[in-house]
Amino acid sequence: MENIIVCENITHYYGSRLIYENLNFEVKKGKILGLLGKNGTGKTTIINILNGYLKPRSGECRIFREKMENLSPGTKASIGLLLEGHIQHTFFNVRQIEKFYRQFYPNWKAGAYYELLRKLQVSETQRISAMSCGQRSQVALGLLFAQDPDLLILDDFSMGLDPGYRRLFVQYLKEYASNGDKTIFLTSHIIQDMEMLIDDCIILDYGRILLHKPTDYILNKFKRYTFNSSATEIKATDKLWNPEKTGNTWELYSFSPKDEIQQILEPYNIANLKEEKLSLEDAFIGLTGKY
């Protein structure tokens, strides 16, 4: 399957603070990839690098085989970009912004934009600056769908949205992605929205990728185990993620099945080992830790 986004050996620092070292990943055509990470792990930074708005210390990203700093107008027309906070040109009103963007995109679908906006109950002459965050998000989404790009890059699409708008946003994105040729690369700090949407998941830790796996794999394989033990310390390993003790009860996470965990934990005299299936949000906490 064709790679739409390729990032190779991206290293970046803000001053002396390392953001990533040798970051590598790719996004295949037709996939929805979610980039998850705690605050400050560089989710927006990678989106800025991808779109050529930030020059990394070293490494290279390519979108549709073009280098990030020199995207051609044709390639830009194939990329729909949503900036963090649903930033738009707020001096326009609803009709003016559509009129402005229409000229730039050959496959412009004004109907898709106005259909979405009819649900907002705003007049076409309402200025975007006078809209709520949720309404602005729908304007931004409507413009993206009217553009009909092959690749959508969404930076923290759920930021500032109430549950209704978030659900609406996700529904529209799912429908958009149901046409197999569309690719989506997104970040969000509300992970429960991502669970309904993404095929693949990259979890960023400070300075590196912690995990890059299909979402189904994480949801099916990654489990939380709780048990009782008098042990004072259980060391984290590649099979035991983030062990933590509360009172006499231990909690840890693992991709290994229950039998294997039982065996590994034998030296700690454990009792009442229980296995729990996890939501993506729980899995994220299990992988990155609570702190």
Partner 1 sequence: MITSIFYKEWIKTRRILLLSLVVFAALITYIFINVEQMFRINGATQVWTETILKDISVLTRIQWLPLILSVLFGVSQFVPEMSNKRLKLTLHLPMPENKIMFSMLAFGLSGLLILYAITYMAILGGLNIYYPPEIVWSMVEASLPWFLAGLAGYLFVAWICIEPVWRHRVFNTLIAAYALTFFMISAKSGAYMPFIPYLLAIIIVAHFFSFYSMYRFKDGSQ
Considering the complex, state which of residue 157 and residue 250 has its C-beta at the smaller distance from partner 1. 157
State the DSSP H helix or E strand holding residue 17, giving kind and residue range, or none if neither. Answer: strand 17-28
**Of positions 76, 182, 223, 224, contacts partner 1 by CB under 8 A:** 76
Residues of span 239-258 touching partner 1 by CB under 8 A: none
Considering the complex, state which of residue 63 and residue 191 has its C-beta at the smaller distance from partner 1. 63
247 class by beta-carbon count within 10 Å (0-12 exposed, 13-18 middle, 19+ buried): exposed
Considering the complex, state which of residue 21 and residue 251 has its C-beta at the smaller distance from partner 1. 21
Query: What residues does 25 pair with on adjacent strands?
Result: 7
Considering the complex, state which of residue 15 and residue 247 has its C-beta at the smaller distance from partner 1. 15
Considering the complex, state which of residue 68 and residue 218 has its C-beta at the smaller distance from partner 1. 68
289 touches partner 1 (CB under 8 A)? no
Residues of span 94-123 touching partner 1 by CB under 8 A: 96, 99-105
55 touches partner 1 (CB under 8 A)? yes
Please state, in angstroms and rounded to a whole number, the distance separating the CA atoms of residues 110 and 145. 9
Considering the complex, state which of residue 24 and residue 107 has its C-beta at the smaller distance from partner 1. 107
Q: x/- binding map, residues 8-47, to partner 1, per CB under 8 A?
A: ------x---------------------------------
Which two tokens mark 76? 């830009």
**Of positions 8, 18, 29, 52, contacts partner 1 by CB under 8 A:** 52
Considering the complex, state which of residue 99 and residue 118 has its C-beta at the smaller distance from partner 1. 99
3-state secondary structure 195-249: HCCCCEEEEEECEEEEEEEEHHHHHHHCEEEEEECCCCCCCCCCCCEEEEEECCE
Please state, in angstroms and rounded to a whole number, the distance separating the CA atoms of residues 216 and 201. 9
3-state secondary structure 88-151: CCCCCEHHHHHHHHHCCCCCCCHHHHHHHHHCCCCCCCCEHHHCCHHHHHHHHHHHHHHHCCCE
Please state, in angstroms and rounded to a whole number, the distance separating the CA atoms of residues 174 and 151. 14
Q: Least distance to partner 1 from the beta carbon of 100, Å? A: 5
Query: What residues does 253 pair with on adjacent strands?
Result: 224, 241
The stretch near partner 1 (CB under 8 A) out of 77-85, 117-125, 200-208, 262-270 is 77-85
* C-alpha dihedral (66, 67, 68, 71), degrees to nearest 10: -50
The stretch near partner 1 (CB under 8 A) out of 16-24, 68-76, 169-177, 225-233 is 68-76
Q: Least distance to partner 1 from the beta carbon of 227, Å? A: 47
88 touches partner 1 (CB under 8 A)? yes
Could you tell me if 10 and 56 are in contact, meaning their C-beta atoms sit under 8 angstroms apart? yes
Residues near partner 1, by CB under 8 A: 14, 48, 51-55, 69, 73-74, 76-77, 79, 81, 83, 85, 87-92, 96, 99-105
